[in-house]
Amino acid sequence: MAKGSLSALLVTLCLTWSAANALAADERMAVTLNEKQKAFVLGHMRDMLEALTDTQQLLLEGKREELRQRVANLQTREQANRPNGVGQQIPPAFRAMAQSMRPHWQAIQNPDASEEEVRQHVVDLMRVCNACHRTFSIQ
Ligand code: HEC
């Protein structure tokens, strides 16, 4: 077997093994929230997924001003719904990861950025979503 395909096989085996392992035992860091805080955080998560879906559609249609509005609405709703004390309840590492989404949302909102640039920021943003989901769970 060629060296390249052997290492590809090993990488695949390792990934499969660690995925199976993660399912068997959830080793993510648990963030404990009260019911109100949990409803807010998970609600905002669903909002972000919807905003990302709309982002894809609006980019396809070239509607950059509507896209700017769409992201602005997401942020307004987040601020309006945020319950008191949620900031103190979440660990600094969680907050830092959440904040690292900011430049990507900003770039997506910018009507002067090229479409290619915006699309790259969408991908980079989604990598942050995935990294956080791999790291934390909510209780
Ligand atoms: C700072 C960490 C973090 C970031 C960044 C993050 N998430 Fe989450 N998200 C979580 C956690 C933790 C959960 C709960 C997962 C669990 O307990 O299994 C969650 C849950 C969700 C859910 C399920 C909501 C429900 O009702 O159960 C969706 C949808 C979601 N995230 C979408 C996204 C999207 C889209 C992004 C990126 C734009 C994103 N998230 C970024 C931490 C994060």
Three-state DSSP state, 118: helix
Cβ of 45 less than 6 Å from ligand 1: yes
49: closest CA among 118, 107, 133?
133
- Output the residue whose Cα is nearest ligand 1's atom 26: 42
Q: Which residue has the tokens 């559609």?
A: 57
Q: How far apart are CA 137 and CA 60, in angstroms?
A: 33
pLDDT at 5: 60
Tell me the HSE value of 27 on the side-chain side, using a 13 A CA sphere: 7
- Output the residue whose Cα is nearest ligand 1's atom 7: 129
Residue type at 69 in one-letter notation: Q
Q: How far is ligand 1, taken at its centre, from the CA of residue 4, in Å?
A: 35
Ligand 1 nearest atom to the CA of residue 94, by list position? 1
Segment among 9-13, 38-42, 98-102 with least mean pLDDT: 9-13
pLDDT at 3: 61
pTM, full prediction = 0.86
Mean pLDDT computed over 103-108: 98
Predicted confidence (pLDDT) per residue in 28-64, tens digit: 999 999 999 999 999 999 999 999 999 999 999 999 9
User: Encoding tokens for residue 122?
Assistant: 């969408």
Cβ of 138 less than 6 Å from ligand 1: yes
- Output the residue whose Cα is nearest ligand 1's atom 27: 42
Residue 13 has pLDDT above 50, yes or no: no
